[in-house]
Structure 1
Amino acid sequence: MRAKNRLTTAFLKSAPVGKHCDGAGLWLVKREDGGAQWVLRVTVHGRRREMGLGGYPALSLAEARKQAERWRNVAVTGSDPVKVRKAEERAERRENISLDVLTADAFEARKAELKGDGTAGRWLSPLTLHVLPKLGRMPVTDLDQRDIRDTLAPIWHVKADTARKAMNRLSIVLRHAAALGLDVDLQATDKAKALLGKSRHVPKNIPAMAWADVPGFYASLEEPTLTHLALRLVILTGLRSTPLRTLRLDQIEGNIWTVPAEAMKGRKDATEAFRVPLSREAQRIIDLARPHARGGFLFPNTRGGVISDMTLSRHMERRGLEARPHGFRTSLRTWLAEATDTPHEVAETMLAHVVDGGVVRAYRRTDFIEQRRALAERWADHVTGGAGQVVKLAGAV
């Protein structure tokens, strides 16, 4: 056995940068930034393994020697200390199998699939708001359909979409728990749906303005305020308000606005940004908004962020209008259907909808930018007072 206990507490307090051996594979690694880390080197089946034990001085010399002795003994039996420690950590985590813990674990495993890694909180919010406050501490193995029914019953008919999402997320969490080897009822959510019955909620489409009425409303947005300018750009581009409200100046180059893929709803699997052709009128509105820009954002608010969606909606509400900003996407889509001969895939791309399956999109590598540019100009002509006449698209496919 190699000599042990070479280091002293006094030496450690002023140890220079470098590696310092205590013996029998235990080392203190002193970094240039002043920090230090205990490292143990052992040999298992002829292969050297290195494992960190903790930082110094949080882990004292005596405690580091104690841990080193334990893991050396594990190595002597032929087991890999690194793998043994990981197994112990997994077992320790599994001791707490509450719905709270399993939900967090399932979310962590799926973050990469979610837009912006789920930072907006929309994946978790149906559970954190309506399920976890009541069931979060319950062991996931005890969860049954009655628990789920009683928890979601208050919103099943009045907040049907939220209840549906909560049920979907619960099903994912249960499948995740089953994959970890826990004995859960994978049919609990389906049974809960049967107990709750069919939702009486009737979904309502977001109120939209008839496309023939859009020019009159557009003309009323005559003030150079952020609200008026943002609403004008919502109308002209046909995009959802989120990418527009978070529009950054560096996303605009000439007559093209490039929206990052992660900012586009329904395009979380996209690897490319979405290009928006800007009509001459849209470019004029952007130029009018530039003096308001702050922090790189074209539509900032006074608190350092950007204007809210409610700011735009309340403006229309105060005007006594039933329609809402999102409804202008419907106005544009209806105009495309009724006043143009635009092919379906081009019209859907105008609204940044993903059309066709992945195989078709893999071969059809176009975003119809030139056709959409012509349509954007025609739409701008209409909303600024044109007749909205039938549009013929040269070369449309």
Structure 2
Amino acid sequence: MESIAKAATPGKTNDGDGLYFQVSKSGDTSWIFRYKLDGRSREMGLGPFPAVTLGQARQLAADQRKLLASGSDPLATRDAAKEAKREAERQAAARRTTFEDLAREYQQAHGGSWSEKWRKGWLRKLELYAFPTMGKLSADIISTEHVLTALQPIWATKTRTADEIRGQIEQILDAAKARRLREGDNPARWRGHLDNLLSKAEKKKARQRQHFPVLQWKDTPKLIADLLNIDTRDAIATRLLILTGARYHMIQHSMARV
């Protein structure tokens, strides 16, 4: 058979029952199964020769005829099997990738423009409050309950931090969905979801600007005396600010040149 294949001219040779031996213009040889479905002729590759022998090709062709007899399209059936295999591989990869892995990858991808302090703080908040609950879980199984378990203990006492963590979890899970590592709604989203489960009043209160009480002018000498006992750049800058009446950004600029 192999010697015949080498000598064959380009074209198709019918072996019977829809099986054809094909020689391409470049001399490559393979097996083709030809069939009709709904009045349309279709061709399905069964593999290269000699990797697929004549006996194997005949068995493969017989399998496709059985599918046709059952009313199935051999090509569509094969494509569905390939897609199912890819989906199984994707799910296996998703199970191997933990939330902690995704968080560190997100920081690596987006943290290039962040300050070093922000990079460390961004990850540290997750290490303290999110990773103990969901760090070892894959993104596809993280639910609202997991998010609430991480946030509820600190929502009333550290609302601003808790809301920042909520936003981080939402971003990480959105990125996981974009990579097809999870499906469905994001369990960390606020509007229309967690806003029904966590106190809105606490969130609003945490986001309000907090002002310190105004210092009365008669208390200024005592403040300056107290600052004299503090040997730091901040204390020196504050005294200079008081004595000159300069704006804070001017003091910052002056101290940067010291």
TM-score, with length taken from structure 1: 0.34
Larger Rg: 2
Which structure dedicates a bigger proportion of its chain to helix? 2
- Larger RCO, structures 1/2 (Cα 8 Å, 6+ apart): 1
Q: TM-score, structure 2 length as denominator?
A: 0.50
